[in-house]
Amino acid sequence: MDFSLSPRHAARRDEFRDFAEREIQPAEKDYPRENLRRMAGRGYLGLPIPRQWGGQGEDFLTYILLIEEISRVCASTGVILAVHTSVGSFPLLYYGTASQKELYLRRLASGEMIGAFALTETQAGSDAAALGATARRVNGGYVLNGCKLFITSGGEADLYTVFATVDRSLSSRGICAFLVEKGTPGLSAGPRERKMGLHGSATTELRFDEMLLPPANLLGSEGGGFRIALSLLEGGRIGIAAQGLGLARAALESTAAHIAASGQCGTAAGQAARFILADLFTRLEAARLLVWRAACFKDAGRPCTREASMAKQYATDLAVQASARCLDLWAAAGMSLDNPLTRYFCDAKVTQIYEGSNQIQRIVIARELLKSLAKI
């Protein structure tokens, strides 16, 4: 068992860290167009996409290292990157036809287009198969009606992977995935949600009102949409796990520097703070190993359902726990909005919720555990 990053992975991680620290501005309010432009300039918006389609052809672990480093500086930019790649670009890569890839994947990889993903609805959150958006077969394609909720990069993205059902009686087997370009008649985005955190990332409703799509915009097969959504779960979860890891690191590194500078370190009175940091840095190391292991398994083509869920649950729970404890350690100075700690704390909370809430992850982990025991 090898625990060392290859020289290539280590070099790229250093490159990402350096880039993030120099070029990424924390997005406190507006959608971070400039950050995305700079990442596109480096090829980061197509990092794990094959060169054939204009990407850099890097492995999944390298992409995970990028999300972690970007999220450490700006979690809003991190989630836009993760959604753009994990669920905006990968479905095209896995299921797209050559012409769909030519038309869309190339532009996503170059950053000319930003990708987004529209699955969630009011009545379909964790239970995604319960979605109500419909696709009606007509001459010349499909007509979509319905409303999606909590869409990252809503209104800002150029291409949406949208899920709708052609036949509700078929339940999950009636669900189809469609590629929807910004500007398609009948497509509209609602106002931006006013959120607790991730202020730079636009989150909106997405409405389809008699929106006509040509048959060429169906991704994969008719009725194959749910399978597409499921196949993206693991990659998506590992991506958010990396976001949690980046946030936890940001909070812990800034707090360790603060405590070290406080001069109380060597004293018996400073022990409470030191011990909290010791526990949290230990958990950070545990989280890192869980996240990187899941990424390595995915790269190796090994099953990683339980590894991805463990990574997501543990790393994102840690992001919340670490940022909350760090606020304690900064005391009043931590509450100032000039201190990025409040941003880390508010950004961290949603990582426990989206891409499968951590309660869903626990259901998956317990299921996998009981299944593995049954085999013995």
Please tell me whether residue 375 binds other proteins under the rule CB under 8 A: no
Tell me the two tokens of residue 149: 């909720």
Of 285, 303, 328, 335, the residue at the interface with other proteins (CB under 8 A) is 285
Encoded one letter per residue, x for contact with other proteins by CB under 8 A and - for no contact, window 296-325 reads: xx--x-x---x---x--xx-----------
Which residues are identified as catalytic? 355
Name residue 95's beta-bridge partners: none
Torsion of CA 128, 318, 46, 34, to 10 degrees: 110
Residue 122 DSSP label: T
Give residues 10-29 in contact with other proteins (rule: CB under 8 A). none
Please tell me whether residue 344 binds other proteins under the rule CB under 8 A: no
Shortest distance (Å) from residue 298 CB to other proteins? 11
Per this entry, what is the length of the chain? 376
Shortest distance (Å) from residue 125 CB to other proteins? 17
Please tell me whether residue 207 binds other proteins under the rule CB under 8 A: no
What DSSP string runs through 149-215?
A: EEEETTTT-SEEEEEEES-GGGGGGGEEEEEEETT-TTEEE-PPP--SS-TTS-EEEEEEEEEEE-G
Please tell me whether residue 127 binds other proteins under the rule CB under 8 A: no
Encoded one letter per residue, x for contact with other proteins by CB under 8 A and - for no contact, window 55-74 reads: ------x-------------
Cα gap 167→134, rounded to integer Å: 8
Of 136, 275, 303, 336, the residue at the interface with other proteins (CB under 8 A) is 275
Torsion of CA 278, 283, 284, 290, to 10 degrees: 160
Q: Which residues bind other proteins (CB under 8 A)?
A: 1-6, 9, 61, 256, 259-260, 265, 271, 274-275, 277-279, 281-283, 285-287, 289-290, 292-293, 296-297, 300, 302, 306, 310, 313-314, 359, 361-363, 365-366, 369-370, 373-374
